[in-house]
Amino acid sequence: MSLEDIAREIRSCRRCPLHASRTNAVPGEGNPNAKVVFVGEAPGRNEDLQGRPFVGAAGKLLTELLASIGLRREDVFITNVVKCRPPNNRDPKPEEIEACLPFLERQLRAIDPDVIVALGRHSALTLLRLAGREERSIMRIRGRVIEVELFGRKRLLMPTLHPAAALYNPRLRPLLEEDFRKLKGMLGESNQDEGLEAWF
């Protein structure tokens, strides 16, 4: 099934109550053959209005961070764990995450990225749980490159802070920038060596 097929299903989804308050579902966008996929937590107000991921202030910062390591939004794929905006931008509930997870899994299987960057606590802890690892703190694991078995094969997962966190607390921005520099180093190595094994 193609990414557009999955996106059509997401736009008509009624698996959880969030569908009742959404303006638009937000399937995600970017390169369907991306080596790197960024997974946020849930759409915000601007994303809900436009039906696109990371288009508000946090999205502007994400675009700047990508540019700082030589990437454009079109080079990667950007999505969220939850595809509809929770009211008042509250955290997604566990049952909302569970309802949306099949969509995320199908997207990641279709794209088949080598690297998944988890933006924020809910994204990181959800993906680690799917890989059989229980974690509680994003600060304890942010910036670490973790080899995981996800969706049929080994991949690299890098949890980092959500860009919105750096907007709320500017002291966190250097940590986010540090993690993106680490990502740049990883991608540089992958261009010199063939295969995921070269990154371990």
- 3-190, what's its fold? Uracil-DNA Glycosylase, subunit E (3.40.470)
> pTM here?
0.93
pLDDT at position 189, please? 63
Radius of gyration of the CA atoms of the chain, in A = 16
CB 16 within 8 A of CB 99: yes
Q: Which of 5, 4, 42 is nearest to 26 (CA)?
A: 42
Residue spans per domain, the chain: 3-190
pLDDT in tens, the chain (200 residues): 899 999 999 999 999 999 999 999 999 999 999 999 999 999 999 999 999 999 999 999 999 999 999 999 999 999 999 999 999 989 999 999 999 999 999 999 999 999 999 999 999 999 999 999 888 889 999 999 999 999 889 999 999 999 999 999 999 999 999 999 999 998 876 554 444 333 33
Residue whose pair of structure tokens reads 């049929």 in the numeric block: 152
- Give the 3-state secondary structure of the chain: CCHHHHHHHHHCCCCCHHHHCCCCCCCCEECCCCCEEEEECCCCHHHHHHCCCCCCHHHHHHHHHHHHCCCCHHHCEEEECCCCCCHHHCCCCHHHHHHHHHHHHHHHHHHCCCEEEEECHHHHHHHHHHCCCCCCCHHHHCCCCEEEEECCEEEEEEEECCHHHHHHCHHHHHHHHHHHHHHHHHHHHHHHCCCHHHHC
pLDDT at position 190, please? 57
